[in-house]
Chains A and B, each alone.
Chain A
Amino acid sequence: MAENILVVGGGPAGLNAAVMLAELGVNVSLVERDSFLGGNPKKFKYKFLFPDMQPADNVIGELIKKAETGGNIKVYYSSEISDFKENGKKFDVTIKTADKNELKTFDSVIVSTGFEHFDPARDAKYSYQLFDDVIDIKDLERMMGEDNFVRPSNGQPPKNVAFILCVGSRDRHVGNQYCSRVCCTVSVKQAIELREHFPACEVYIFYMDIRTYGFFEDLYWKAMEEHDVQIVKGRIAEITSGPNNTVVCKGEDTLLRGPFEIPFDMVVLASGMEGGPQSSEISKKLGIGLDEHGFLKPENVTLSPFKSNRDGVFLAGACTGPKAISDSITEGAAAAMNAYTYAVKNK
């Protein structure tokens, strides 16, 4: 008889784990809280993915197609885990869908509940939701995804745009001390897209450090050297309204030690990633560890980042910390391998 494995969360990591397990002949149950698969990339309509600007549909669309047509994968949409019990080396799980509860026994479990975009409205200094022209990277991604890129306040193309990095990251004030890893790269990617879309629009990036790690650095160099994106060192302390329907960024130029108040047509906040309410929820339900940052805690961050502290429960993707889509997909495969090994061993 084939193994039964549960995958919680249908984002890039969960999808890849499910697809790989199905190819091994495992019966996969994929529990997804939304009514569609694809996770945050699908929800917020990401258009192009860094580093090579390939359409997000090439990646996410492909995974969804494989999961939906893969035969061995049973997808539970708009559903959640309502009960979780250990049964020897196996797990008895109740899956709650819109109309019924279903009790199933699984050999192992993969948790890939992902992340939540930080809500910039929580940090009042950025005046998000107060001014129409202050948006964040996920809003911009959606606007680009919908081919509707204009100033929200008046529908005109912007003359100058500011990106503000580290919104909701590396800030004790909002409770997130960690770096969200991808916002720098997303911001320079969007800056390039903006410059390509509106060559006359000036783009500035306010930064404390620019952390386009590894080969993502190429995008950062490209933004500066081919698209004249200007970086200005200093975090923005306040966004206020300015003359002629502009928004003013108030900050300090830390390289020249001078205060500035610069009006912009549009401000894009590079909001970070958070574990979200789902992380603590799943941690309680499944009895797995939560770390001090609000993400799920791996057993050993270096040796086994894909394992939880509970035998038979594996972790994949951004539920263990901020991650790029490629890393999530890799972890999905790693968790699939480990979950499969565990299931076969304890059969």
Chain B
Amino acid sequence: MALEKQENRPVAEKGEHIIARHLIEDDNIKEEKNLVIDGVDVSGRWNTFILSRVDSEFDRSFFKEVKETVVGSRINRCWQCGMCTASCTVTPLYRRFNPRAFIYMMQLGNLKEIKKYIDVAWRCVGCYKCSQRCPKQVNPAEMMEALGLLIKKYFPEEVKSKLKVDEDVKKIYDDMIVGHGRLDLAKLHTSAMQKTGRTKELIGKIERDAIFKMAKDGRAFSILRLGKPHNWSSSKEAITGYLKNINTIENGESGV
């Protein structure tokens, strides 16, 4: 980050004078551009401070907080096998979206680490593959909602600045909500699979079994009959109007 040029002072990068600067993350360098202490000017490199990279506590208050929520009640079960990340629909698209790691960060209360992933932490599309496959029934899909709640609570400012809408995903959500009045998880799943070129798997054994089961017990037909929510036209109008004015998922959610 280049600072503006000031009078009598050369342009300085933050922490520029540190040897092996490339090894230190930006967030770990504290340097005040202008600082005067007791009348002494200690601006720039004179007040540089490097925060330790070493974690010095496990903060279990977040674990307790998450455990008390409905969606996060099974956080104590996770043993970090990685089945959730391995089955995740989103991870192939956004490598930094890693449900396994997010759950671990919540277990150990590592908010410093969670903060780095605010831009991707909300990418879960709710396909529930992870929850279906999790050997300990942690329900990682809903754990991602718990993560969302945690981020919303502790980093409201960052959420506003860092959370940018992925246009493709937004289009899918907009089409579904505005067009049909509800999220169609099957459609979401299909779009994601198409996007990653895994169309063949859409008629895999699990999917075939599910379709067959749903056709047999009548759920497939009830979904078709379901229709739009009550008083949909006025809701739709409100949502469309609101969507015009915002461009973040955060605001979009509270609007819906």
Contacts and interface: CB of A to CB of B under 8 A. Distances in A.
A57 B79 CA distance: 34
Contacts of A202: 58, 60
Interface in B36-69: 53-58, 60, 63, 67
Contacts, number: 54
B139 interface: no
Given A224-B79, A255-B101, A230 B56 contact: no
A252 to B, nearest CB: 10
Contacts of A221: 136
A232 interface: yes
Given A204-B58, A256-B110, A231 B79 contact: yes
Contacts of B53: 258-259
B55 A233 contact: no
A202 B67 CA distance: 15
B83 interface: no
A230 B77 CA distance: 9
A258 B107 contact: no
Given A224-B76, A228-B76, A232-B108, A253 B55 contact: yes
Interface in A218-260: 221, 224-225, 228, 230-233, 253, 255-256, 258-260
A202 B76 CA distance: 13
Contacts of A204: 58
A137 B214 CA distance: 53
A255 B104 contact: yes
Contacts of B58: 202, 204, 230, 232, 262
A256 B101 contact: yes
Interface in B7-56: 53-56
B207 interface: no
Contacts of A233: 80
- Counting chain B residues whose Cβ lies within 8 A of the other chain, the interface size class is 20 to 34
B111 interface: no
B184 interface: no
A225 B56 CA distance: 25
A222 to B, nearest CB: 11
B113 interface: yes
A232 B113 CA distance: 16
A343 to B, nearest CB: 50
A202 to B, nearest CB: 6
Nearest to A202: B60
Given A202-B60, A230-B60, A233-B80, A259 B54 contact: yes
Contacts of A261: 54-56
A260 B76 CA distance: 21
Given A232-B108, A256-B113, A258-B113, A263 B56 contact: yes
Contacts of A225: 76-77, 136
B156 to A, nearest CB: 24
Interface of A: 202, 204, 210, 221, 224-225, 228, 230-233, 253, 255-256, 258-263
Interface of B: 53-58, 60, 63, 67, 76-77, 79-80, 100-101, 104-105, 107-108, 110, 113, 136
Given A255-B101, A262-B56, 13 more contacts: A228-B63, A231-B79, A253-B55, A255-B80, A255-B100, A258-B55, A259-B54, A259-B55, A260-B54, A260-B56, A261-B54, A262-B55, A263-B56
Listed from nearest, the 7 A-B pairs whose CB atoms lie closest are A260-B55, A259-B54, A228-B76, A261-B54, A225-B77, A255-B104, A261-B56
